[in-house]
Amino acid sequence: MKQIITTVFVIILILYAGEARAGYHSADHNPPDFHISLSELLRVIQLYNSGSFHCAPDTEDGYAPGSKDRACTPHNSDYAPQDWHISLNGLLRLIQLYNSDGYHAEAGTEDGFAPGRRTSPDIPPEITLTVPAFLELTQGESGEVGFTVEFRTYDTDDYTLAVSQTISPDSAGISLSAEFPPEWTGDDTGTWILSQRITGNIPGMYEITTVITVPETGVSDQGTTAVSVVGKSDDILGSLGLSPSAIPISEATDVVFRVRLKDPDKKPTEITVEETDESGSPFRVLGHLANDGTSGDLLAGDYVYSGTFNVVSDTEGAAVFRAKAIFPDVPEAVYTDIRRLVVTRFPIGIAPSDTSKIVTDPDTGHRLLSNEVSVLFAEGTDPDTIEAIAGAVGGTVVGMSYGGFCQIRFPGTGDAAGVYNVMDILRGFPEVEITEPYFMDGEIGLFPPSTLGRGRHDSGSHLRAHCHSDAESRSCIGSICQQYQSRRGRQMGESDR
């Protein structure tokens, strides 16, 4: 009897592994919900990278790399032709479904599916709210922020989306001017950007809690924005600069901090560097900045106060700092904006490349590395996701430039086509903003990422730097990153420029 039960159980697993489940795609298994998640996409990329796959009823999706048992229905990404291999077209098609807001079964398409949500009255709507974590205002000034509301519904009913906000600890410290209605109706999956103007009235730290609710179902989400209101500084203190802009995690590193006086006639009693949390609340003083050529100051009397301090952090992400200045004729302390020092597990700087991997693109004649690409991820992408995306092409992050570009090294196929295939896969991830080859023939181009199906040389607007040797090509990366970082509008300390 035990043997019979075991046999039946195995048969059920085999059927489950290969058969379509109520219109779900084979990749949609954790859980099946008519949306392709990042982990589900990475699983199919693993099958793609393996070259072939087979039935494996005891795995997460019913398949495994390799050429063994094939007594089940093939994976839905294996089509045109169906040959137990995930082709590049099959993978790009799944990336398209991953980037869409859900998918549904549809006869007559290349794979039997199409982008777009599936109508189902049995699945409740979902809502996600994203708010800015921190805003710093000068007393009397205003700033505009945006909140993102993502709403996903699986039926055709109308739902109310209601927004409420509270301020603590003192609602008089800041004023809110909403440029959106307190509630509106959503009858389809969509995303809304809610704009709001915030005015700083009284110096201090405040929190805005924003809640978005669907009254019909009770589903809700909320987020908190920390607001720091600082006293007026009469524009006498510049931005805080720091160098380097990134340090290795858990490794003590000397960091130079600098701040320039905008008004040379106003001399501070002292300027200190404070380490703060993300809300701008200080929890320790790093040290004093000087302008006398001592204690790490670079040059005496140049109106740039600087100092070198040893910084170490065991927390990956960013350490946050600001400078605090006391002036004898200014009643309140003057603060710079907060500045983030990146703390990363990735190697800092561009790693040396293997010049034997240089190949020539037969279409353009350009020489490029066949096993490396340069990738800029969206700001805030967590390191685990970066490693997972790099791993999707069998790669690892071997370097990180000043501007935040990751140097990703992968096995490669020994030709330019393999590089472009890797770029096409990487561009399918929404976290990837830019990916380009490492050109080694004297010219490096940085382009915005192309959409699926867009030609790899159709670059649109771009920045371009000219280099004249393989060694100089590598050194040019840093300057290009700085150009692009400046173009993105990321804040840099004035002393860094």
Looking at the predicted structure, is the pLDDT value of residue 370 above 90? yes
Domain termination residue (choose one: 325, 344, 363): 344
Q: How do strand 432-439 and strand 367-377 relate by DSSP bridges? A: antiparallel
- Determine, yes or no, domain membership for 235: no
The domain total for the chain is 4
Q: What are phi and psi of 71, to 5 degrees?
A: -90, 55
On the question of pLDDT at 497 being above 70, the answer is: no
263 and 316 assigned to the same domain: yes
What are the residues whose beta carbons fall under 8 Å from the beta carbon of 81, sequence distance 6 or more? none
CA-based nearest residue to 407, from 437, 445, 367: 437
3, pLDDT greater than 50: no
pLDDT tens, residue by residue, 112-139: 999 987 666 567 888 999 998 888 887 7
**Are 29 and 52 in the same domain?**
yes
Does one domain contain both 359 and 483?
Answer: yes
In the predicted structure, residue 107 carries a pLDDT above the cut 50: yes
469 and 360 within one domain = yes
Long-range CB contacts (within 8 A, 24+) of 104-108: 104/23, 104/34, 105/20, 105/23
Tokens linked to 383 = 């390191």
Q: Report if residue 120 sits inside a domain.
A: no
Question: CA 47, CA 42: separation in Å to the nearest integer?
Answer: 9
User: The pTM is what?
Assistant: 0.50
Residue 206 has pLDDT above 50, yes or no: yes
Higher local confidence (pLDDT), 331 or 57: 57
More confident residue, 493 or 287: 287
Q: Are residues 479 and 361 in the same domain?
A: yes
Token pair, residue 338, equals 């907060």
Domain coverage including residue 302: 240-344
Return the structure tokens found at 218. Answer: 């009770």
* pLDDT, mean of residues 14-37: 69
Given a cut of 70, whether residue 104 has pLDDT beyond it is yes
Of 39-43, 156-160, 216-220, give the lowest mean pLDDT range. 156-160
Residue 350 lies in a domain: no
Measured in whole angstroms, how far is the alpha carbon of residue 92 from the centre of its chain?
A: 21
In a shared domain, residues 191 and 286: no
CATH code, domain carrying 206: 2.60.40.10
Percent of the chain scored above 90 by pLDDT? 41
Residue 497 lies in a domain: no
Residues 21 and 55 in one domain: yes
Tell me if 395 is assigned to some domain.
yes
Q: Hey, which bits of 312-424 come out as E strands?
A: 317-326, 334-335, 339-344, 358-360, 367-377, 396-400, 405-409
395 and 467 in a single domain? The answer is yes
The pLDDT mean for the chain works out to 80
138 in any annotated domain:
yes
Which secondary structure element, helix H or strand E, spans residue 146, and what is its range?
strand 142-152
Write down which residue in 344, 371, 395 finishes a domain: 344
Based on the fold, state whether residues 252 and 362 are members of the same structural domain.
no
Q: Which of 115, 145, 177 is the last residue of a domain?
A: 115
What is the pLDDT, as a whole number, of residue 471?
36
Both 328 and 398 in a single domain? no
Q: Between residues 315 and 404, which one has the greater pLDDT? A: 315
279, pLDDT greater than 90: no
Question: Measuring CA to CA, how many Å separate 163 from each of 125, 197, 215, 228?
Answer: 16, 15, 11, 23
pLDDT digits (tens, 9 = 90+) for 176-198: 998 788 999 887 777 888 889 99
144 and 111 both lie in a single domain = no
Answer yes or no: do 103 and 192 share one domain: no
